[in-house]
Amino acid sequence: MHPLPKLSSLKLPGIQCKMASGIFPPNRRIANTSLMKNASGREALLWRATFFMLGVTTLMSVCVLRLAQLQLVEGQYNQNLAEQNRVRPIPVPAERGNIVDRNGKLLASNRLSRAVYLWPRQQSRNEWRETATRLGAILNIPSQEILDKLEQAGYNSPLPVRVSQQLSQTAFVAMAEQATQLPGVEIIAGSSRHYPYNQLASHVMGYIGEASEEDMQANPSYPSGMIVGQMGVERMANDRLEGAWGSRLVEVNAGGQEIRLLGSKEAVAGSQVRLTLDVDLQQAAERALNGRRGAAVALNVNTGEVLALASNPAFDPNIFTRRVSQTEWQALQEGDQPFLNRALQGYPPGSTFKIVTATAGMQSGKFSPSSRIGTSAYLSMGGIQFWEHSKHGYGVIGFKEALAVSSNTFFFRVGLTVGAEQVAKWGKILGIGTTKLGLEGESLGLIPTPDEKEELYDEPWYAGDTVSMSIGQGLVQVSPLELAVMSAAIANGGWRVKPHLLADQTNTPATERVATGIDPGTIETIQAGMVAVVQQGTGKRLNDGSIPLTAGKTGTSEVVGRKSHALFVGYGPAADPQIAIAVIVENGGYGGVAALPVAHEIYKVYFGRSAQPAKQD
């Protein structure tokens, strides 16, 4: 048996091992290095796995916490939001009541239209900015105006916001083509106001528009986009005309399309309002003004019903059924001021005021119906000469003749004798400074006394003020409506009527006429004088046989630096007064030339047909 060789003496091909030296064999060294590398890789993988698991765990925790918040903490709130996005309350505008004249002719009605509404919750604030730009280009509305309405309503409002009242066919087609790019935009059918006579009686009719912030605060029940009267009868009778809006509760899909109706509340249309106006007389008055600045008023002498109330220039209220541009609005405020109701503005009344001075003279007791006063070419007062129409005066005449020839010096002396206070007193009794119709922009007349002048203007009263007052100049201001009331009081025997536009107010306590206390002798004398004006004086153009005999008084009021205003007041027929008229033509010159023909046209229409009683509702 051979002994084993020593390990150290073993010699293997290509391998040298020196145990003593501590050097491992080459293969062992390679394996050891691989193990180290594998360990580092496993450690890196472990860390990656750990971070991944932490990330997933964190993400899941956030989702779970958010889900818990949405479901448990805010569950009811979110359910309500989802329900509100699924269920829409759609407003149903009520039709405004019609407005008709005394004979039932339509002055304001409604016609089919389309309105554009926005649902604020359908888009974010930033998204609405982009939509407003696109929508504004289609509707020709500034995008900021659309955004302002959304801001006012609030982007979380569940109710729609109207941004356009009347959608044109072109805009309708454009919106249909871009429907997918306009989420939250809806077209809802409704009705818009229509004035078939356009500008006719526009100052009486007024116009409509969206309720202002003040209107909304005063009427919390008003829905967004509520239409209310802004002027004239539309505003005066708004509570009757507006009706009550209804609503439809509908379920919609994600695209905003209606799926089914969940409930509805019917809209209640407004009530019809009948006016005292007579369309035929109104047309005659406006036609006779023929584009000139001025006004004409016609009243029933016994009831105070306003048969015509014309003011020129006028405006077309139909423009307010759509968006009014800034340029259009500015034009209404400037130039000849179409918005100004001249029938309710104060003017120097000129010689038409001599009716008041005559009344004051006889009622003061200082003159009687039979009194006669000397006239002259002029009256000198404080170094100033106040002239008569005639170079030599008219001699000694009475009230009837003085009215017929419109003598200045006659009424100068009457005014100076009775005093300014008496003239002012009887002017107010006849309706000057005390008459109101209830429309916007109305101004009361003014007949200042000496004390009032000092208070208003901080100036003393002079005798010349009394002279000017006695012929309707100086500080005296009277509206055409007040002149018509004055004329009616003389026509009906001394009763001051209360002018009104709503037919259901006629012959009610609210419009009951008031006794002036003017003596019958005074009334008869003034009536005779006004008839003489037509028969032989400055108003004889009315006595051409085309109408029954009427009574009247012309006037010319001076305007500094410009042509005089032309005025006329009157009533007819003289034997049985029914209608009283007052007319002013600004800078028209003589009353008998410019204003009287307007009254003549009204008379011809009134007397040219048998007077029909107003239809009853």
Instruction: Kindly list the catalytic residues.
Output: 351
Say how far apart CA 64 and CA 75 lie, in whole Å. 14
Residue in the structure block whose two tokens are 């100033």: 384
Quote the CA–CA distance of 352 and 482 in Å, as a whole number. Answer: 11
Q: What is the DSSP letter of 406?
A: T
CA distance 444 to 326: 31
Indicate the burial class of 288 (C-beta count within 10 angstroms; 0-12, 13-18, 19 or more).
Answer: buried
Cβ-contact 398, 424 below 8 angstroms = no
* Helix ranges restricted to H, 122-244: 125-139, 143-153, 169-177, 202-205, 213-218, 232-236, 238-241
Residue 585: exposure state from Cβ atoms within 10 A (0-12, 13-18, ≥19): buried
Report the distance separating Cα 570 and Cα 429, nearest Å. 18
- Using only C-alpha atoms, the chain has a radius of gyration, in whole angstroms, of 44
Question: Which residues does residue 581 pair with via DSSP β-bridges, in sequence order?
Answer: 298, 570
Going by their DSSP bridges, the two strands 258-265 and 273-274 should be labelled as: unpaired
What is the DSSP code string of 247-272? EEEEEE-TTS-EEEEEEEE--BPPPP
Nearest Cα to 538, choosing from 577, 491, 590, 465? Answer: 590
Question: Residues near 338 by Cβ (< 8 Å), separated by ≥ 6?
Answer: 313, 314, 315, 331, 332
Residue 64 φ/ψ, nearest 5 degrees: -65, -45
CA dist., res. 238 & res. 257, Å (int): 35
Cβ–Cβ under 8 Å, residues 578 and 300: yes
Tell me the C-alpha distance between 97 and 427, whole Å: 39
Can you read off the two tokens belonging to residue 614? Answer: 């107003």
Q: In angstroms, rounded to a whole number, what is the distance separating the alpha carbons of residues 479 and 346?
A: 4
Q: How far is CA 222 from CA 11, 145, 226, 230, 545, in A?
A: 112, 21, 6, 15, 57
Which pair of tokens denotes residue 47?
A: 């860390």
For 69-178, where are the alpha helices, taking DSSP H only? 75-86, 125-139, 143-153, 169-177
Q: How far apart are CA 397 and CA 2, in angstroms?
A: 185
Residue 234: Cβ within 10 Å count: 27
